[in-house]
Chains A and B, each alone.
Chain A
Amino acid sequence: MIAQARNLIGRWYSIPLLLVMWQAAVASGLVQSRLLPGVGAVWDVLVNETANGALLYHAGVTVSRALTGFSLAAIIGIPFAAAMARSILVRNLFEPIFFVGYPVPKIALFPVFTYIFGIGTPSKIAFTFLECLYPIVVTCYFGFSGVPTRLVWSAQNCGASRSTILRRVIMPAALPSIFSGLRIALPVAIIVVVLTEMIGDSIGLGYYITIWSTRFSFANVYAAIIVIGLCGLALDQAMLLLRHRLVYWEREEIG
């Protein structure tokens, strides 16, 4: 019991320690409190803005945009990766687009997206889709092409049909890499949505940060940053939980 508590403190002490140092620095006047409001001020804003729904509303906008773009990328990307891994023609057609295009910073295309899709939600979703598509397709492609051929052969030998092989052999074998692709893409989705909201929008957490920083109210900025962090953490945990349930034969530790 005591050992457990000690272990817990030993693992998590840095966050409270940092908060105390932060508060001490502000209280002693070492840093301008305009730039760095005290812990209490940020906490007050966090509670008030959550209670009046402003933070929840903007967080809802950001998360729903991120999830929509992400799900579209997953729905289109995973079958696409399977097709690339299974058919030489598809692979030769699309390989350069995905593998040469992978390191290209696609964020540069965002201005073009705003012209095509307008400044609101559609351009954010479309851009999130594009940014998530790359890690999902590339990781899943390696997953699908890494399925051991002898598994497929033995399934064929047992007389399994093509659809059975796809469903019962290839999908389960590729599932761990599908999930690692999705897990890479999920934080990308949130980052991209917040980023594009900061560049130009009138709703969402990215907008919230920009607008409150122009009003020099940094307590609100930090509160929004905390909310973004919590959303990211929650989504990642949800993804891990899903993986834990679906890939039950190769579980990773949650936490």
Chain B
Amino acid sequence: MPAPRWSQKITNALIPAAVLALWEVLGSAGFLPRYLSTPTAILTALWELAVTGELFAALAESLYRVAAGFVLGAASGILVGLAAGMMPRVRHFFDPLVSFLYSVPKIAFLPVFLLLFGLGHASKIAIIAFSGFFPVFIASRHAVLSVNRLLIWAAQNMGAPRSTIFFRVLIPAAAPQLFAGIRIGLAHAFVVLFAAELIGSKAGLGTIISYGEEWVRFDLMFAGIVCFAVLGFAADRILLAIRSRVLKGQIIGTEEQVAR
């Protein structure tokens, strides 16, 4: 689509810009309820938080939790999922458990985790890891099972040892689906992070949001919300960038490359 790019970009930006402008105008004219604040007030609040350094402390706290929990959950999900895909015994052990637990919101276990691990970092990291595990596990399991058997047979036929088959055939063939699972796991991680910070403790970006609510500083509340949204969005984009680097050979010539 090399057609008029800039006119397309203008149409793309039309609705967000209109919403922001309307919000600003109506908000500063006092037509909107106070809890909606205004975009400029939110920016000022962000600046205020950044100057005092509160923002970065909160960001670091939240980021540490989500990163640690996500890495733990995704790593264990990949390991167990790959094992389940390759070994029927492992698969038969985990399948019933996962198919039941998958539909349970993992945040329902938060009270248990809070008692087990306390109010600090550990309980958040554990619950984030726990909820990130499931989508990654399911994707890895399916990925291994859907690898074309011919590829593995061909490698075996040429006398490749098991480790070579694993690292050079199985993993590359499963990688696209692995990334799909990891991406869902990342999204879950942020949802759980938010809920855990709001329900379980007052630290990180959750503090800024609930502080804003309690002290009727809605600009602060929105500043926290904006930070949270940007954090989640940036994490997803970083993951996609890693993905397109790792899968460089596999997306050439597909629609995805054309779209980018």
The answer to whether B11 has its CB under 8 Å from any CB of chain A is: yes
Query: Chain B: how many interface residues by the 8 Å CB criterion?
Result: 51
The answer to whether A224 has its CB under 8 Å from any CB of chain B is: yes
Give A141 to B110 CA distance when docked, in angstroms.
35
User: Which of A35, A111, A231 meets B213, CB within 8 Å?
Assistant: A111
Please, which residues of chain A bring their CB within 8 A of the CB of B236?
103
The answer to whether B108 has its CB under 8 Å from any CB of chain A is: yes
User: Which of B11, B35, B101 meets A112, CB within 8 Å?
Assistant: B35
User: Which of A11, A13, A116, A228 meets B108, CB within 8 Å?
Assistant: A228
How distant is B101 from chain A, measured CB to nearest CB, in Å?
Answer: 7
C-beta contact mask, B220-249 vs A, less than 8 Å → 1, else 0? 011011001100110111000000000000
Residue on A nearest B240 in the bound complex, by CB: A103
Q: Determine if B102 and A96 form an interchain contact, defined as CB atoms under 8 angstroms apart.
A: no
Give A107 to B229 CA distance when docked, in angstroms.
9
> Provided the pairs A35-B116, A108-B229 are in contact, do residues A225 and B109 lie with their beta carbons within 8 angstroms?
yes
> Provided the pairs A13-B92, A112-B35, A198-B199 are in contact, do residues A93 and B14 lie with their beta carbons within 8 angstroms?
yes
The answer to whether A5 has its CB under 8 Å from any CB of chain B is: no
Give A109 to B228 CA distance when docked, in angstroms.
10
Give A231 to B104 CA distance when docked, in angstroms.
9
How distant is B84 from chain A, measured CB to nearest CB, in Å?
Answer: 11
Q: Determine if B96 and A111 form an interchain contact, defined as CB atoms under 8 angstroms apart.
A: no
Q: Determine if A105 and B94 form an interchain contact, defined as CB atoms under 8 angstroms apart.
A: no
> Provided the pairs A11-B95, A93-B14, A103-B187 are in contact, do residues A190 and B228 lie with their beta carbons within 8 angstroms?
no
By secondary structure, the B interface counts as helix
The answer to whether B43 has its CB under 8 Å from any CB of chain A is: no
Q: Determine if A195 and B105 form an interchain contact, defined as CB atoms under 8 angstroms apart.
A: yes
How distant is B58 from chain A, measured CB to nearest CB, in Å?
Answer: 13
User: Which of B103, B209, B233 meets A104, CB within 8 Å?
Assistant: B233
The answer to whether A95 has its CB under 8 Å from any CB of chain B is: yes
The answer to whether A213 has its CB under 8 Å from any CB of chain B is: yes
Within 8 A of B (CB), among A179-194: 187, 190-191, 194
How distant is B136 from chain A, measured CB to nearest CB, in Å?
Answer: 16
Please, which residues of chain B bring their CB within 8 A of the CB of A190?
103, 105
The answer to whether A246 has its CB under 8 Å from any CB of chain B is: no
Q: Determine if A232 and B104 form an interchain contact, defined as CB atoms under 8 angstroms apart.
A: yes
The answer to whether B190 has its CB under 8 Å from any CB of chain A is: yes
C-beta contact mask, A204-223 vs B, less than 8 Å → 1, else 0? 01100110011000100100
Q: Which residues of A contact B (CB under 8 A)?
A: 10-15, 18, 35, 89, 92-97, 100, 103-109, 111-112, 115-116, 187, 190-191, 194-195, 198-199, 205-206, 209-210, 213-214, 218, 221, 224-225, 228-229, 231-233, 235-236
The 6 closest A-B pairs by CB, nearest first: A232-B103, A213-B111, A103-B236, A105-B232, A92-B11, A191-B105
Q: Which residues of B contact A (CB under 8 A)?
A: 8, 11-16, 33, 35-36, 92-97, 99-105, 107-112, 115-116, 187, 190-191, 194-195, 198-199, 209, 213, 221-222, 224-225, 228-229, 232-233, 235-237
